[in-house]
């Protein structure tokens, strides 16, 4: 079991950064194209990072799930 803790902050400009947190490293892999990490964080749940940048978290799920589901629901006749 990996117990390494990773700290993340993303630069948003020359003088600002956001999404600063730390999490327990669950997985780290390197593909031909990018570094892939999955962290576990107390507030965000599991966090997917590509090349050190946050792509999605478990906390984000409702924000992208709703727009994906609604077109299919409105297209259904029942």
Please tell me the total number of residues recorded for the chain in this structure: 78
List, for residues 7-21, the tens digit of each pLDDT value: 877 777 777 777 677
Q: Which residues pair with 36 in a beta bridge?
A: 29, 50
Q: What is the CATH number of the domain that holds 18?
A: 2.30.140.10
Number of domains in the chain: 1
- Alpha-carbon dihedral 56, 58, 59, 65, rounded to 10 degrees: 80
| Beta strand pairing call for 17-30 and 53-57 | unpaired
Query: What is the value of pTM for the model shown?
Result: 0.71
List, for residues 3-58, the tens digit of each pLDDT value: 788 887 777 777 777 767 789 999 999 999 999 999 999 999 999 999 988 899 99
List, for residues 61-70, the tens digit of each pLDDT value: 888 778 888 8
Enclosing domain of residue 66 = 5-75
């Amino acid at each position: 079991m990996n117990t390494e803790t990773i700290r993340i902050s993303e630069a948003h400009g020359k003088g600002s950064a956001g999404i600063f947190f730390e999490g327990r490293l669950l997985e780290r892999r390197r593909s031909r194209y990018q570094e892939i990490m999955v962290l576990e964080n107390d507030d965000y749940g599991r966090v997917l990072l590509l090349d050190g940048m946050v792509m999605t978290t478990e906390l984000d799920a409702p924000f992208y799930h709703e727009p994906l589901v609604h077109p299919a629901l409105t297209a259904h006749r029942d």
